[in-house]
Amino acid sequence: MTAKALVVLSGGQDSTTCLYWAIREFGAENVSSVTFDYGQRHRIELDCVRELSALTGIENRVLPIDTFAAIGGDALTDSKIAVCGEVTEKTGLPNTFVAGRNVIFLSYAAAFAYQRGIDNIVTGVAQTDYSGYPDCREETIKALEKTLNLGMDSEFKIHTPLMHLSKRETVELADKLGAMPAMAMTHTCYNGQRPPCGACPSCELRARGFAEAGIEDPLLTAS
Ligand code: ZN
């Protein structure tokens, strides 16, 4: 049986790079993607996913999870909190940390994959250079992979091709994979702006990666 892969696609730079990585590794005909509508402030992410799916021809399903917005307390789902990357005193994490997000996303992705006979799940999390989100760490992902396999009596492999790459290396990988036209459609800005604001922590991180790789960000020339 041919190996199939499911990419957790957010419409951002990293998961889009992973989509192209999965196409190379598994073949486009064996790749599909899933996106979570979790009440994120930036609905533009869902538009990006539609554009990326049209460009790549990779099937995408948007699944709803409205619980994070109901819980509140983070800047990405609560419009009363400014998205500035300010560190929350209690947790030492930026206020953009949506507690439990990756754990829940990967659990739902695994349930979706299980029903379709897909064993490979691809996610763009990385523990290098990023905001220090604990659910992006390799240790978390490895433990979750084990839990999901025990819980569903399955043989999922969670692939994290960006885990140990710097932002610069992620940009270089995207370039090598031919993902640059798709980068023009991705969304990164924490302020939900397109063209991007250029000033938020997320825009700054993206700009640094492209600058260090010596590659022009197609998002900036497209918008
Ligand atoms: Zn921004």
Q: Is pLDDT above 90 for 178?
A: yes
- Per-residue pLDDT of 66-96, as tens digits, reads 887 788 766 666 666 665 556 666 666 666 6
pLDDT at 148: 97
Q: Rounded mean pLDDT of 36-43?
A: 82
How large is the C-alpha radius of gyration of the chain? 17
Q: How far is the CA of 140 from the centre of ligand 1 (A)?
A: 28
Q: What is the pLDDT of residue 71?
A: 81
Using the mean position of ligand 1's atoms as its centre, give its distance from the Cα of residue 147 in Å: 35
Task: State in Å: Cα 45 to ligand 1 middle.
Answer: 13
Ligand 1 centroid to residue 146 C-alpha, Å: 36
Task: Report the separation in Å between the CA atom of 195 and the middle of ligand 1, taken as the mean of its atom positions.
Answer: 9
Instruction: Tell me the average pLDDT across 103-117.
Output: 96
* Better-predicted residue by pLDDT, 216 or 38: 216
CA 204–ligand 1 middle distance (angstroms): 7
CA of 203 to the centre of ligand 1 (A): 4
What proportion of the chain, given as a percentage, has pLDDT over 70? 85
Confidence of residue 45 (pLDDT cuts 50, 70, 90): confident
Task: Look at residue 82 in the predicted model and tell me its pLDDT.
Answer: 63
The pLDDT, as a whole number, for residue 135 is 79
Q: CA-CA distance, 92 to 35, in Å (whole number)? A: 28
Residue 127 pLDDT level (bands cut at 50, 70, 90):
confident
| Number of Cβ within a 10 Å radius of residue 2 | 7
pTM of the complete model beyond 0.85: yes
The whole-angstrom separation of Cα 181 and Cα 10 is 17
**Distance from Cα 43 to the centre of ligand 1, integer Å:** 15
Q: Tell me how crowded residue 181 is: count the other CB atoms within 10 A of its CB.
A: 11
Residue 133: the pLDDT is: 77
Identify the pLDDT of residue 130. 57
**pLDDT score recorded for residue 142:** 96
103: domain CATH number?
Answer: 3.40.50.620
| Helix ranges, the chain (H) | 13-26, 44-56, 67-71, 101-115, 138-152, 167-176, 180-183, 201-213, 218-222
pLDDT per position as a tens digit, 190-207: 888 888 899 988 899 899
Task: Using the mean position of ligand 1's atoms as its centre, give its distance from the Cα of residue 10 in Å.
Answer: 16
Residue range of the domain that includes 27: 5-222
pLDDT score recorded for residue 191 = 83
Q: How many Å lie between the centroid of ligand 1 and the Cα of residue 206?
A: 9
Q: How many domains does the chain have?
A: 1
For residue 141, the CA-to-ligand 1 centroid distance in Å is 27
Distance 173 CA to ligand 1 centre (A): 23
Mean pLDDT in residue range 162-180: 96
The closest of 122, 136, 126 to 168, measured between CA atoms, is 126
pLDDT at 129 exceeding the cut of 90 = no
Average pLDDT of every residue of the chain? 88
